[in-house]
Structure 1
Amino acid sequence: MNILNYVSTHIDLPQRSIANTLKLLEEDSTVPFIARYRKEMTGNLDEVQISGIQKLKSAYEELEKRKASVLKSIEEQEELSPELKQKIESATSLTEVEDLYLPYKRKRNTRAGMAREKGLEPLAKMLMAQSGTDVENAANRFLNDKVGDTGEALQGAVDISAEWINENRRVRHVLRRLFSRSATISASVVKGREEDEQAQKYRQYFDWNEPLYKCPSHRLLAMLRAEKEEVVRVKVAVDKEQALEAIENIVIRNERAPGISYIRKAAKEAYERLLYPAVSNEILKEAKEKADHTAIQVFSGNLRQLLLAPPLGEKRILAIDPGFKSGCKVVCLDEKGDLLYNENIYPHPPQREASQAIKKIRSLVNAYRVEAIAIGNGTASRETEALIKRIAFDREVQVFVVNESGASVYSASGVARQEFPNYDVTVRGAVSIGRRLADPLAELVKIDPKSIGVGQYQHDVDQGRMKTELDAVVMSCVNSIGVNVNTASPSLLGYVSGIGPSLAEKIVEYRSENGEIRSRKELLMVPRLGNKAFEQSAAFLRILQGKNPLDNSAIHPESYTIVEKMARDLQLEVEELIGNKENIARIKPEKYCTDSVGLPTLNDILRELEKPGLDPRKKAKVFEFSKDLRTIEDVKPGITVPGIVNNITNFGCFVDIGIKESGLVHISRLSDTYVSDVNSVVKLHQHVMVKVIDVDLKRKRIQLSMTD
C-alpha cells in the first residue's frame, strides 16, 4: 500500500488532484499557498480539502513508522514469517497493526507466562484443540515440583488459553463491533462528593447512563472532566452475557469436547481480565478522540470568526482597562498602534474621582486627536462606559466595548515584554485592548488561542492536536487577509506562508537596519529568506506605496509578466489596469492560458486587479447595551435586551448582554424551526435581541431565548 492508495481510500477526490497535492506538500508548500496559487495542479481544491490530504499524509507516515517498529521487534524475536510480514505491511490501520503485534508483544510477568514456565502450554493446546482428549486425565502428566495438583495444572492451561483468546484478532474485531453498536456510558458519583459544593456543577452526572453512540461531544468531555476531578466514575460497558456468547461462538468448535467447561472458563476470564478492560478503554478512547475532534472544530470555527472580526482600521485610539480599587489604566495609541501616553484614573469607588477622570479623558482626546475609545469588557466596564458617554467631546469620538479575554495573558508574555520592556502589565493589557479594536487579527495572533475565551472544553482535548488545528486556522486567516511587511509584528509575520518565527525575526531585523522594504524582490535580501520561502510568502506580504503597484496585491510575483503582457496588449501601463473595471473588462483571460497557468489563476488575477489588496473584513460598528443592566441582579425573566454573541458551542451560543455573566441561548431556543448546526443561525460578534427565560443567581447562570 502506497500513500496515494491510502489517501484515496479515505477521501473522495480525483487521484490526479491527490497525487499533485501530495507532491506539493512533499516540497514543503503550505496549504494557503497551494489553495491560492496552484489551482491548476490540484484541480481547484480548497483549503479544507488540501488540509484533509495533509492530515491523511501525516496519518500514513505515522502508520508506516509503527509498522517498521513492529516488524523490527518481531524480527529480533526471530518470529517474523513471510506471511506475517505481508499482513503487517498490508495493514491499513494502527489497530490492525497492533492486533497482529499483540502475540509478540513483550509482556510483564502474566498468569499465562507463569503457567508456561511451569510447562503447561502443551496442556493448553490440548484444551483448545477440542478433540476427544480427556484433559482432566491428561493434566496428571503435567504434575511436577512446580505444579502440585491437576486443579493447578488445569488453571494454568486456562490462563494460557485466556491469553490466546485475548490475542485472537477475530474475537477482538467482534467485540469492537459489539461495543461500537451497543456500549453504554455511565457515570456515578464518588462516595463523599454528593454534597461537595465544587462538585455541584456536575450534579446531572451523579447517576447518568446513556448509549455511548448517542453521547454528544460536550457531554462526554464534561463527564471525563468530572472523573478527572474525582467527582464521578465513568464506565463503558456492554451486556456481559452477549459479549461472552460472541466470544464462545468463535472459540468453541466442539460443544461435546471433554474440556468444554474449561474453555468457557478461559473465555470468561479472557473477557473479564483482558478483553473488557482493553476494548472498553479503546472504545472510550475512540469516543474521546471523536469528541476532541468535534470540540476542536467548534473552537476552530469560533477562532476563525474572532480573528476575522471587523477591524476599526488605522485610527487614533484611547484604550481603557477598567477597574475599581486599582483604577482604570488609560493609554493613547497612534494610527499604527504605537503607545503615545499612559496614565491611571480613579472614577469609581472607593476613590470616586469621576470629575477629575472626565477632565483627563477629555484632555487626552483633544491632545492626541483621538478618534475612538476602546473599553475592556471586564470589571467596571459598564460603569466606565457610562462615564465616557457623559463626556461632551469637542470632536466626534466613537465608543466601543472590546472583549478583553486573554489580554492579561498577553501582558505577562515574552512577546509583550519584548514590545514594551519599560512598562508594566497594566499598560501592556490596555494597549492590547486598543489594538484589538484597530485590528483584532494582528493583536490576537500574539495570544495562545486557548486564552482568547471562545471554544468548548478546550483544556480537556488533545493539546497537540488542538495546537496543530488552531495554528492552521491562524495561518489561514492571516494569509487570507495579507500582511503589511513594513508594519507587521514578528508574531503576525510568523504565520505568513513559508515564513515562521525565525524568518519573521529576520525580516523585522532587516527593517530596523535598512528602513522600509520597498519591493517584494527586496525580500530576497533578508538573511536566510531563500527562493522557496520567497515563493511561498511573497504574494501574502503587502508593500504599500512600493515601487511596483502589484506588490500591494495578492497577485503572485510569478504572474507579474502575465499582467504586464495584458497591459501591453491593451497599450496601457499596469497602473492603468489596477482598479479600472472598464480596462479589465477588455481582457480575454483565455488568451493567456499556458500549460501551467489556466483560467482559475487568470480569473483570480483579474479579480485582484479590480480590487487590489482588498480587506474582506467588514468595519467595526458601535454597539449599545441596555442601560438598565449593570449586574446579574438587574436581569429579570421576561425582559428582552440587546446582546452580542461571544461564544458558540454545539449546544447553543453564549451572549454578552452587558454584564459580567454571559447568558446561554440553548440550541432549542435559537429558532422556531429545528436547528442542527448553531453556526447556521448565529455567528460570533453578531448583534442579537434575546429574551431572558430564567436567572439562577446562586449559580450565576442566565437562560436566554431568540424565539420567544
Structure 2
Amino acid sequence: MNSEKLKADASWNIADVIAKALNIRKDVAIRLIGLLEKEECTIPFIARYRKEKTAGMDPDSLRDFASLLEELRAVQKKSETMRKTLQKQGDLDPKTELALLSAQSMEELELTYAPFKGEKKSSLANRARTLGLGEAASAILTTPNKTNLKRWVTKGTEGRATLSEVETGVKHIVADLLSKEKATMDKVREVFQPRHLFLESKLAAKKKKEGDSKQDNHKSDAKSSRDEQHKYQLYYEFRCCVNNLRSHQVLAINRGESQKYLTVKLTISKEAESRFLAWSRKYWLGKVTKQDAHDLLKSSLEDSYTRLIKPFVLRKTRSDLLKKAQVEAVEIFSKNLKRLLLTPPLRGKAVLGVDPGFSHGCKCAVVSSTGNEVLATDIIHLNSNTILRKIKQLHTKHKFDVIGIGNGTGCREAESVFSQFINKHRDLDLAYCIVNENGASIYSVTEEAQKELPDLDPNLRSAVSIARRLQDPLIELVKIEPKHIGVGMYQHDIPDNQLKSALDDVIEDCVTYVGVDVNVANEALLRRIAGLKKNQAKNIVDRRQSAGNFVNRQELRQVKGIGEKTFQQCAGFLRICHDGLPGKNTDEPEPKPSGSKRKMKVSAKTRSKKIKLDADLKPNPLDQTWIHPESYGIAERFVASLDLKIESLGQKAFIDTVKKAMYETGLNRLAENLSTDASTVQLIVDGLSQEAGFRDIRNEMRRPIFRRGVTDLQSLRVGTKLSGRVTNVTEFGAFVDVGVGLDGLMHHSDSGGNWEDLRRSLGPNDTVQVSVKRVELQRKRIALRLVQADLCQTAFR
C-alpha cells in the first residue's frame, strides 16, 4: 500500500473532528481555525469583533475550541514524529503507519508506539519479533488458510525450538497487531461507550484495619482517623455508571484513593465485552477455514482483548474521567472568579481596610476615595480597652465612609467590635462589609506590592489590599495569582499550568469586557488586555509618564513594541476618556483636557512603518466606546447619514436618533446599507447609544453586602428564613454568606429540584433567600435550603 493511499484511508479532517465534538458547523470551525492560526487573533478580540465569522460564539466556547484545536494539532505533530522515527529505524510497516495516521488522541498514539519504545523492547510481542517470528505473524494474518507455522520451527533455538513455542510467539505478535488495527480502534470507540463502564470504590482494607486497631489502643487517634475518613463515607460502597458520574465525585474518589482511604476499580459490562468479542471473531475469523489457524487467531483475539485492549480501555476511561472532571472544575472555578472580578466598584468612598488578627492585632489602613493614597495605618488589638476610641480617632482625622473587614482568622471578633462602633455612632452613617481576603497576604510580599507600597510593612500592605479590592475588585485582584483567590471546587487537585492558563484567560476576559482607560490604568491591569504582553504594558505606562496622557487611540501605535497586529487586538479594549464625553470617571485622576492639542514626536522607526498619524492629534469621541478603530469609517458614515455630528455622542438627542434609526431600519438592512455585517452594526449602535457621564457596565452585577449590625451563629434556628449572598458555587451546591461569620452550604438536593438550571446562572454576589435546615455548632456547619434566588444576568460582549 503506497503512502498516499495510506493517508487517504486514514485521513481525518481536523475541522470535521472539532465540529462534531463541539456540535458546531464545519464552516464555522474552518473560519475559526483561520482566525486563531493564520491571523493570530486573541479570544476576546474574536468574541467581540468577529462574531459574524463564529456565529456568535462566546469566549468560553471559543476557549474550548482553541483548546481542542491545540490538542489535535499536538496529536498530528506527534503522529508525524513517530512515523519518521519508525521509518528511520526500519520499523514502519503499513499497518503501524495506518494506525498512527488514524489516531485522534495521544492515548491511541502511545498504544500504537509502545512496542517500539526502547524501554518496551522486553514486551512479549517484541521478544517474539527479535526471534524472527514477525514474518510468521504477518503470514497467519494475511493468508491464514495457506500458512504452516512448522517452517519457522528451529531446533535448538530458544523460543522457536518447538511448534508450541512458535505458536506462542506468533500469538503475542498477532495480539499486539490486532490491538493497534484501525478497524479495532474504531470498534473500541464505538462499543466501549461510558454507559457500558462502571466505577466502583470501597474503603481500603488497610485503613479499615488501622481504624479498628486505633479504636482498641488510642481513642483520640481513632477519632482523628474517623474524622479524616468521614469525608469519604459516601464512597465506601460506591458503584456508578461512568456516564452518570459527576465531576466532584470523580475528584473526591481520586483524592480518597491517593490518600489511601479508598480502593477504586473500573469494570466493563458483560454486554459490551460480548459484543466486541463477537465482532472481533466475525471480522478476523470469518474467512479462516484451516482449524489450527482458526484456533491460533481465536486465542490471539482473546489474549489481545484481555491483556492489551481491555486495560487500554480502562486506563483511557479513567484518564478521560479525570480530564473531564478537571475541565469542569476549572469551568466552575472560572465562572466564580469571573463573577467575583465583575463585582461593581465602590467609587468615591474612603475605606478603612482591616486585616483581622489576635496576637498581632488587627492591621488597619485608611485608603483615599481614589485608592491611590494610603492616608493612615494602625494596629488595633481586639482585647484593648481603648479600641473604640482608636477607631473614632481614625475616623475623626480621615473621615472614611466604609469599613472593609477581611474574612480570615479573627474576622468574627473584629466584625463584632466594628459593629459595636457603628451602632454606638449612628450619626456617622457608617457601614461595614466582609471582604474576601484570600491572596492579600501573598500579594503583600510580592515585588509588585513592594514597588507600590515601598514604605509599608507587609502586614499593613494586606490591609491596603483589602480596602482597595472593595473599592475596585478588578484592579486589585488582577495583581493576585488566581489560585489564591479561593473560589471554586477542588482547585488544589488541578494541575497548576492548567489552572493558571484557564484563569488567566478569565481575568483577560473580564478586563477586556469592562475596558480600561489607558490614561489611568496601571501596568498590572494593562498587561491583562488582549494582545498586550508585559513589556508592551510597561512601555505604555512609560510612554504616558514621559510624554503625558494619550489623546487618541492612534497614539498607541507610537509605543515601542506595538505593531499593527498588536494594535488591532488591543485597541478596542483601551478607552481614552475626555471631559464632557461619556466614560469620564470623576473619581479618577484628571486626564488631559479634551480641547488640547499636543505635538507628537514621531521616531524614525515609526516613520519607516509608514504609519499615517496626524502631526496634531485631536481627541476622537469614538475612542471612549468599544467601537473598534477598524470600524470608525462605518460609524462615521452611519452618523453622517443621520445628519448628526460625532461630537454630540452621548447627548440624549443623539442617542434617541440612533435608536430610532435602528428600530425603523432594522439591523440587517442597516448592515446592507453600510456594506458590513450585522454584528459590527450592533456594536456600533451600542457604542453610539452610550450615555454621557461615567458608566461602568459592572454596575449590572450585584454589589457586596453592607451591614450595620451582626448576627450570632448561636442564634440560628431550624426553619429561620434568611437573606444572603452567594460566595461560591460548586457542582454539589452553593455556599452562602448569611451574616453569621460562617458560610452555609445549600446542597444541590435542597435547591428546589432545578439545580442544573440554577447552577448555570448562579454566581458570587447573587442574592438568595434561604431557610436554615440544620446547624452543627461543634463542626461549625450550616445546612441551608433555597427559598428564592435573585439572580444577576450578564453576558460578555
Note whether the superposition's TM-score is higher than 0.5: yes
- TM superposition shift of 1:481: 0.7
2:91 and 2:272 mapped to 1: Cα distance?
A: 35
Structure 1: distance between partners of 2:98 and 2:162: 43
Structure 1 residue 218: deviation in Å?
0.6
Q: Following the alignment from structure 1 to structure 2, what is the Cα–Cα distance between the partners of residues 245 and 6?
A: 26
What aligned pairs does 1:414-433 form with structure 2 within 5 A after superposition? 414-433=447-466
How far, CA to CA, are the matches of 1:592 and 1:210 in structure 2? 53
- Of 749, 754, 757 in structure 2, the residue corresponding to residue 668 of structure 1 is 749
| AA partner of residue 191 (structure 1) | A
Provide the residue aligned with 1:654 in structure 2.
735
The question of whether the paired residues in 1 share the 8 Å contact of 2:356 and 2:408 is answered with yes
Between the aligned partners of 2:334 and 2:570, the Cα distance in structure 1 is 23
Q: Which amino acid counterpart does residue 331 of structure 1 have in structure 2?
A: A
Q: Please tell me the residue identity of whatever aligns with 1:353.
A: S
**Alpha-carbon shift at residue 269 of structure 1 (Å):** 3.8
Partner of 1:113: 126
CA 550–690 in structure 1, closer or farther in 2 if over 3 Å, else same? same
- Quick one: structure 1 residues 610 and 395, their matched pair in 2 at CA, closer, same or farther if it must change by over 3 Å? farther
Are the structure 2 counterparts of residues 615 and 79 from structure 1 closer, same or farther at C-alpha, using a change threshold of 3 Å? Answer: same
Please state how far the C-alpha of 1:280 moved relative to its aligned partner.
Answer: 0.8
1:245-280 Cα deviation digits (max 9, x unpaired): 733652562598236665555444434433332221
CA 1:625–1:635: 2 relative to 1, 3 Å? farther
Change (3 A) 1:7 1:340: same
Post-superposition shift, 1:118? 3.6
Match of 2:207 among 177, 193, 199: 193
Task: Determine the structure 2 residue equivalent to 1:597.
Answer: 676
Give the 3 Å change call, closer, same or farther, for CA 599–680 of structure 1 in structure 2: closer
Kindly provide the CA deviation profile for residues 19-69 of structure 1, in whole angstroms up to 9, marking residues without a partner as x.
Answer: 444333322222222332334555555434544543343244223312321
Q: Give the deviation of 1:532 after TM superposition.
A: 2.3
Q: When the two structures are aligned, how many residues end up with a matched partner?
A: 699
1:703 to 755, 779, 783: 783
Per the TM alignment, residue 434 of structure 1 is displaced from its structure 2 partner at its CA by 0.9
TM-score (norm 2): 0.79
Q: Give the direction of change, closer, same or farther, for the CA distance of 1:117–1:462 in structure 2 (3 Å limit).
A: same
Name the structure 1 match of 2:522: 489
SS of equivalent to 2:307: helix
Answer yes or no: is the 8 Å Cα contact 2:627–2:684 preserved in 1.
yes
Aligned to 1:606: 685
SS of residue paired to 2:292: coil
Cα distance between partner residues in 2 of 1:641 and 1:625: 16
> How far apart, CA to CA, are the structure 2 residues paired with 1:490 and 1:134?
76
Do 1:102 and 1:167's aligned partners in 2 also have CA atoms closer than 8 Å?
no
d(CA) in 1 for partners of 2:293, 2:360: 81
Any conservation in 2 of the 1:345–1:357 contact (CA below 8 Å)? no
- Of 266-275 and 383-392, deviating more is 266-275
**Contact 2:95–2:181 (8 Å) recurs in 1:** no
State the match for 1:163 in structure 2: 176
637-646 or 265-274, larger mean C-alpha shift:
265-274
CA shift in 2, pair 1:110/1:55, >3 Å: closer
**Matched residue of 1:293: which SS?**
helix
Match of 2:406 in 1: 376
Offset at 1:449? 1.8
The 2-side partners of 1:245 and 1:520 are apart by 65
Pick from 177, 180, 183: which aligns with 2:194?
A: 180
Task: Provide closer, same or farther for how the CA distance between residues 706 and 16 of structure 1 changes in structure 2, counting only shifts above 3 A.
Answer: closer
Superposed, 1:68-217 pairs within 5 Å as 68-78=80-90, 80=92, 89=101, 107-121=120-134, 131=145, 138=150, 141-147=153-159, 152-176=165-189, 177-178=191-192, 180-194=194-208, 195=211, 196-197=225-226, 198-217=228-247
8 Å contact from structure 2 (residues 638, 674) kept in 1: no
* Residue of 765, 770, 775 corresponding to 1:685: 765
Q: So what's the TM-score if we normalise by structure 1?
A: 0.88
State the secondary structure of the residue aligned to 1:597: coil
Deviation at 1:684, TM superposition (A): 1.5
Aligned to 1:283: 317
Residue 75 of structure 2 corresponds to which residue in structure 1? 63
Match of 2:610 in 1: none
**Match for residue 523 of structure 1 among 533, 552, 556:** 556
Q: 1:594 to 1:17 in 2, by over 3 A?
A: farther
Q: 1:144: Cα distance to partner?
A: 1.3
Q: How far does residue 636 in structure 1 lie from its aligned partner after superposition?
A: 4.5
Q: Is the 8 A contact 2:419 2:710 kept in 1?
A: no
Say which is worse superposed, 680-689 or 41-50, in terms of deviation.
Answer: 41-50
2:34 is matched with: 23
Match of 1:558 in 2: 630
Deviates more, 1:543-552 or 1:370-379: 543-552
Q: Contact between 1:132 and 1:257, CA under 8 Å: does it hold in 2?
A: no
Q: Which moved more, 1:227-236 or 1:43-52?
A: 43-52
Identify which range, 485-494 or 47-56, moves more after superposition.
Answer: 47-56
Paired with 2:755 and 2:145, the residues of 1 have a C-alpha distance of: 61
Secondary structure of the residue that 1:76 maps to in structure 2?
helix
Cα 1:234–1:193, aligned 2, differ >3 Å: closer, same or farther?
same
SS of equivalent to 2:524: helix
Cα distance, 1:591–1:119 mapped onto 2, change above 3 Å: closer
Distance 1:218 1:374 in 2: 33
Once the two structures are TM-superposed, the CA of residue 591 in structure 1 deviates from its matched residue by 6.9
C-alpha separation in 1, matches of 2:130 and 2:399: 88
Contact persistence 1:40–1:597 (CA under 8 A):
no
Is 1:620 aligned to 2:703, yes or no? yes
User: Structure 1 residue 283: deviation in Å?
Assistant: 1.2
8 Å Cα contact 1:524/1:530 also seen in 2: yes
Segments of 5+ residues of structure 2 without an aligned counterpart are 1-11, 212-224, 579-591, 595-618, 663-668, 789-797
Q: What is the alpha-carbon root mean square deviation over aligned residues?
A: 3.5
Q: 1:385 aligns with which of 415, 418, 422?
A: 415
- Cα pair 1:563 1:574 within 8 Å, conserved: no
Q: Percent identity?
A: 31
Distance 1:61 1:127, change over 3 A: closer
| Letter paired with 2:244 | K
In structure 1, stretches of 5+ residues that fail to align are none
What pairs with 1:442-521 in structure 2 (closer than 5 Å)? 442-521=475-554
Question: How far, CA to CA, are the matches of 2:14 and 2:294 in structure 1?
Answer: 47
Residue 94 (structure 1) shift: 5.0
Q: Is the 8 A contact 2:515 2:574 kept in 1?
A: yes
Letter in 2 for 1:645: V
- Aligned partners of 1:576, 1:122: CA distance in 2, in Å? 84
Deviation at 1:124, TM superposition (A): 5.2
Change in Cα spacing, 1:698 to 1:239, as seen in structure 2 (3 Å) is: farther
CA offset at residue 223 of structure 1? 0.6
